[in-house]
Amino acid sequence: MKPQTHHDNEDVEVESEEKQNGEEIEVDEERLPSQAMATHEVIRQEGEKELERDAMALLWSAIAAGLSMGASLVAKGIFHVHLNELPGGFLLENLGYTFGFVIVILARQQLFTENTVTAVLPIMHKPTPGNIGLLLRLWGIVLAGNLIGTAIAAWAFDVMPVFDEPTREAFLKISLKVMQNPPLEMFANAIISGWLVATMVWMFPAAGSAKIVVIILMTWLIALADT
């Protein structure tokens, strides 16, 4: 779980007008001009907490997220094997893609693609060199941790006798399909997927108890768009 303290490391602090004035970010919708402004401030507050987190805590959380995202491949691979001949089976197969995101987001682990909006808002609010440095620090640590976690998961799926041969072949087929896309197509898909993930994050403050539904629908759409 993410710590509840205002910041983890006394030497790492986001620069903002509120901190300069010894105040907290106002997130009460009744005291703000609109609900959209309240959503903006909630996400900015969360972004400041992320930017101020301890480096090792970020790294371990990012590694955990990389491992958790392996659940997407596991679910999609299993569905591929058992639903391959079913009409419209690709709809359920791509539902498997959502599993990793559900785990990562509800467990509040650090995923690089989810940090696009949350961590950027404080920098847009006050784009100082110090804040930009904190953003690059966060992105670098989280991306490295995610890659380490996914590499460990991929290695485990390949060498550990957990899955049968058809399922392992499905893992390979799914992975190769992604890697065989032309670079320009990968780039275009990344833009669309990044926009959808950013939209998903923006919806969270208003989603309430329906947060898991938002996660499933948005990430399922990403998977279907890449089919």
pTM of the model: 0.85
Residue bearing the bigger pLDDT, 25 or 102? 102
Structure confidence at residue 4 (pLDDT): 45
Comparing 77-81, 86-90, 127-131, 209-213, which segment has the lowest mean pLDDT? 86-90
Average pLDDT value over all residues in the chain: 86
Q: What is the pLDDT of residues 30-52, one digit of tens each?
A: 676 777 777 878 888 888 889 99
**Domains (ranges, CATH) in the chain?**
17-225 (1.20.1080.10)
Answer for the pair 158, 169: CB distance below 8 angstroms, yes or no. no
| Residue that is written with structure tokens 């300069």 in the block | 20
Q: E strands along 102-216, which residues? A: none
